[in-house]
Chain A
């Protein structure tokens, strides 16, 4: 059974915290608990939000008291196994061309690599989707190879384009909407990570695994045009079955 704390977030939220770091082991506990809670279909649960290290449980206290929910959590923790299975596996096109990657050169210089080496390192990793947050459909992926770890920019940009691929700390993310941003921009993806119409949905889910496939600026523009007219279909390549046994 993992170590955890149950913390009140007001009277309609209960936070189950497994630790305070970005950590695959913690993430696997969070996702396992979220799955077990979903299966339980407890009356009074409004929704849950998995994050790097904790699961927020929003509930209706007039149906399910904090004390009773805490007891349910305790029972679910018995025999809880953090597993690294069940997510989908994706290969997603990304263009690292400097014309859509304003920080690529700077970042490469800062860490003592050539831009080509930086691209190789970034696209060689199978990333784990820790959580979605900040913007609709925005996924936080990790972990970056240690040599790519940088603090956020000192001065955030007031606006970055939708689809920007960025890195900061040990994470990489694609910002699905135009937004202010303090991360380093090293590429752009044509993939619609958040689709509003006809039915709103997010491409990625926590627990999914992602590999980035570098594409040329020309290919990026072709795919982006398809995305704009709604004909770009991106499908997961396979079920992720965990690290090789």
Chain B
């Protein structure tokens, strides 16, 4: 039988995501991909994968998965949660482990991931990745179009999601030390492209206010609740393209930040756009969090993007051996994997 992870319980919304499928937006196909590509890259790095390998993106409540392979190495990177390892499906005695580490599990063992705290998403990468044919160059699941991922949909109980490797490599497990994935409360934006649809008062209010992330937020967009933003010239514009991080304001005056699965085009005025370096952190912000926005220049955004990639390239320096594991770890081995794909994607 093919090696696989068998789904005992799917969690709230568990999908396969990689760095997305840029290049097809003119056909109406969203870029999609991980809400938090930095955590995805970090998860892949821990198991020695290329950073753009598809991994499980877990939203809010985690799945329970059984190992149907000789053994498998997983990593868990993102929000905090309880992770329990059980010796078998019907076992009651569980061992707890931390996130931000890798772990090798044997055939029949079960990993049970609880509710997330301190963030919206957790990534579970598998050494070698999932054995799933990419669609339009990507394993990312685009739910609305039933495209990519595992059958174009979230995982369900009894799914067997096939793995590339039947057994894990012999290397030691490791963990991150000093990798801070706590989302900030303040996000940098570039004004426009349609800030002229808003009064000066509305723009000032937008930057002075704190917004609460509402229920109803999803992979397409983050709905915010706070100071109402009026558009004196009306809120229906002739549709144009929607950039990653676009903050559009529909008729009710409450902004929506467009995320990974945003539709390619839309017809509401966009007051500002979150800079690319802050989008991964925005993708990990959970419902109920309070956030605010601050305007910066394009030059500042470009510099921030440069430092983000520099930090990604240094992820390997933060990987250390698990306490008690055997030989000293050689993090430099990971470096070549981290930077590849930098130019292609990060949306």
Per-residue CB contact flags for chain B residues 109-145 toward chain A (1 = under 8 Å, else 0) read 0000000000000000000000000011000000011
Contact (Cβ within 8 A) B239 A52: yes
Contact of B241 among A8, A22, A56, A194 (CB under 8 A): A56
Contact (Cβ within 8 A) B244 A132: no
Contact of A133 among B23, B239, B302, B342 (CB under 8 A): B239
Contact (Cβ within 8 A) A206 B193: no
Contact A13 to B25, CB < 8 A, known contacts A60-B343, A135-B145, A200-B147:
no
Which of B55-63, B153-161, B269-277, B322-330 forms contacts with chain A? B269-277
Give B189's nearest chain A residue, CB to CB. Answer: A10
B22, B190, B237, B238 — which one has the most chain A CB atoms within 10 A of its CB?
A: B238
Report the minimal beta-carbon distance from B189 to chain A, rounded to whole angstroms.
8
Number of interface residues of A (CB under 8 A): 46
Contact (Cβ within 8 A) B26 A137: no
- Which B155-197 residues sit within 8 Å CB-CB of chain A? 189-194
By a CB distance below 8 angstroms, the chain B residues around A17 are 193, 240
Binding site for A on B (CB under 8 A): 22-29, 135-136, 144-147, 189-194, 237-241, 243-246, 263-266, 270, 273-277, 298, 301-302, 305-306, 309, 342-344, 347
Report the minimal beta-carbon distance from A17 to chain B, rounded to whole angstroms.
7
Contact A10 to B265, CB < 8 A, known contacts A20-B237, A137-B27, A137-B28:
no
Complex Cα spacing A201 to B26, Å: 11
Complex Cα spacing A65 to B303, Å: 11
Contact of A202 among B27, B241, B301, B302 (CB under 8 A): B27
Report the minimal beta-carbon distance from A126 to chain B, rounded to whole angstroms.
22
Complex Cα spacing A12 to B345, Å: 11
Report the minimal beta-carbon distance from A188 to chain B, rounded to whole angstroms.
19
Report the minimal beta-carbon distance from A66 to chain B, rounded to whole angstroms.
5
How many residue-residue contacts, CB under 8 A, span A and B?
153
Contact A47 to B305, CB < 8 A, known contacts A17-B240, A134-B263:
no
Give A26's nearest chain B residue, CB to CB. Answer: B238
Complex Cα spacing A51 to B265, Å: 8
Q: Is A111 an interface residue (CB 8 A)?
A: no
Complex Cα spacing A60 to B191, Å: 19
The 5 closest A-B pairs by CB, nearest first: A133-B265, A56-B241, A10-B273, A11-B301, A13-B243
Q: Is A53 an interface residue (CB 8 A)?
A: yes
Report the minimal beta-carbon distance from B146 to chain A, rounded to whole angstroms.
8
By a CB distance below 8 angstroms, the chain B residues around A53 are 238, 240
Complex Cα spacing A12 to B31, Å: 13
Contact (Cβ within 8 A) A20 B22: no
Per-residue CB contact flags for chain A residues 29-52 toward chain B (1 = under 8 Å, else 0) read 000000000000000001111111
Contact (Cβ within 8 A) B265 A136: no
Q: Is A196 an interface residue (CB 8 A)?
A: yes
Complex Cα spacing A66 to B190, Å: 13
Contact (Cβ within 8 A) A133 B28: yes
By a CB distance below 8 angstroms, the chain A residues around B190 are 8, 10-11
Q: Is A21 an interface residue (CB 8 A)?
A: yes
Contact A13 to B265, CB < 8 A, known contacts A52-B240, A53-B240:
no
Contact A52 to B28, CB < 8 A, known contacts A10-B273, A11-B302:
no
Complex Cα spacing A152 to B148, Å: 32
Give A19's nearest chain B residue, CB to CB. Answer: B238
By a CB distance below 8 angstroms, the chain B residues around A172 are none
Contact (Cβ within 8 A) A58 B243: yes
- Which A166-222 residues sit within 8 Å CB-CB of chain B? 177, 179, 194, 196, 200-202, 206
By a CB distance below 8 angstroms, the chain B residues around A11 are 190, 275-277, 298, 301-302, 305
Report the minimal beta-carbon distance from A160 to chain B, rounded to whole angstroms.
14
Give A15's nearest chain B residue, CB to CB. Answer: B193
Contact (Cβ within 8 A) B276 A132: no
